[in-house]
Amino acid sequence: MSRVLPAEADLRRIIGDGETIPDGEVDGLGADELRALYRDMVLLRTYDERSVVYHRQGRIGTYAIFWNHEAMQAGSVLALESRDWIFPGYRESAIGLLRGMPVSTVLSWWRGHPAGWWNPQEFNVASICVPIATQVPHAVGFAWGSRLKGEDRVALALFGDGATSEGAFHEGATFAGVMKAPVILFCNNNQWAISTPLAKQTAAPTLADKAIGYGIPGVRVDGCDVLAVYEATRDAVERARAGDGPTFIEAVSYRAAPHATADDPSVYIDPERVEDERENECVGRYERYLLRMGALTQSLAEEIKQEALDLMRAGIAEAEAEPAGDVSLVFDHAYADPPPSQAHDLAELRRILGDA
């Protein structure tokens, strides 16, 4: 049996800085793929920025911001085939957009509207898990079950640094190792769990070091370098498909925005550090790389941004055009075969609301 080694302390990186650090390249990604990846990142960025505006305008409810997480989301998903499944937490609420999910669906979820649902089997994207780390064992079970059925599909679980403190993460990772589940445990280490910095979350030198205890290889990448994220995930997917089991990826970034629209980070975060991180954010970094490589022009970049904005405008209009949900939706689908009391409850509620 091969030995699992401690993770490298250094972060894998491919995109240079345009000055002293040279740009690298990823085998197998041509200019078209590079531009498609840019399109994905811009879509996520635009979704996120518009959502904050929509929240301020009272058009969506409290919203968990994922600004500067786009590279981790788009890069890891690019390494999957469409038959592979994604298991998101709330920080990845819009990841379904990368699988063709309508913008209005995700906006409806944040609007607290019953239209904010999707069939996971339609997009191979599981429902968003709001508690912390609960999606990790789901992804492991899905990957394990798929292997047992002889189906060639892997699962990608996305979660944050704080999630690695939860029992659900530990137990899921334990299963992943034992069952040799074809799963990627992808940790977006943005270094903050609301107000709790990584140093108060764990005494481990790196989160990837945790993997060794589960018998799983752990790798570390720069989470703001979309190509490094892609390459690391692609390697992990190859291992999973080859029957070599799970991989833990620690993608290190920085939460350069509030946890959510209800959060005021000025109480706990260093604003200068945030400013630095915002200057080096992941979408701009990739955009500058593509410009340097000649794979993108300013005018095409503007066009792509405008397309994303148009999509958001149409999406919010569609979400707002949804008629109010009927109260029957409070009751529908909780059971395949509802207890008899349910019909009585609905009838009584309708009578009281006067819409019998």
- Residues near other proteins (CB under 8 A) are 61-62, 64, 90, 109-114, 116, 128, 130-132, 162-163, 165-168, 193-196, 200-202, 262-263, 267-268, 324-325, 327, 329-331, 334, 339, 341-342, 345, 348-349, 352-353
Active-site annotation, residues = 255, 259, 268
For residue 141, CA distances in Å to 73, 147, 156, 235, 262 come to 21, 10, 12, 21, 33
Which residue's structure tokens are 């529908």?
A: 332
Q: In terms of CB distance, is 29 or 349 closer to other proteins?
A: 349
Q: Which is nearer to other proteins, 116 or 182 (CB)?
A: 116
Nearer to other proteins, 111 or 138 (CB): 111
Give 152's Cβ-side CA count (13 Å radius): 8
| Smallest distance from other proteins to CB 170, Å | 9
Would you call 319 helix, strand, or coil by DSSP?
helix
Instruction: Pick between residue 63 and residue 144 the one whose CB is nearest to other proteins.
Output: 63
Helix (H, G, I), strand (E, B) or coil at 12: strand
- Minimum CB separation of residue 58 from other proteins in Å reads 10
Q: Could you report how far apart the first and last alpha carbons of the chain are, in Å?
A: 67
DSSP E strand boundaries for the chain = 85-87, 155-160, 183-189, 192-193, 196-197, 218-222, 247-252
Sign of CA dihedral 256, 259, 262, 268: negative
Letter for the amino acid at 231? E
Q: Report in angstroms how near the CB of residue 169 gets to other proteins at its nearest.
A: 9
> Residue 91 Cβ, how far from other proteins at the closest point, in Å?
12
Smallest gap from residue 256 Cβ to other proteins (A): 18
Assigned token pair, 168:
């659900």
The residue (of 38 and 54) whose beta carbon lies closer to other proteins is 54
**Residue (9 or 329) nearer to other proteins, CB:** 329
Residue 178: partners with Cβ closer than 8 Å, 6 or more residues away: none
To the nearest 10°, report the CA torsion of 348, 351, 353, 356.
120
Pairing of strands 196-197, 192-193: antiparallel
Name which of 191, 178, 91 is nearest 137 in CA terms: 178
Break the chain down into helix, strand, coil percent, rounded to 5.
50, 10, 40
In whole angstroms, the minimum distance from the beta carbon of 115 to other proteins comes to 9
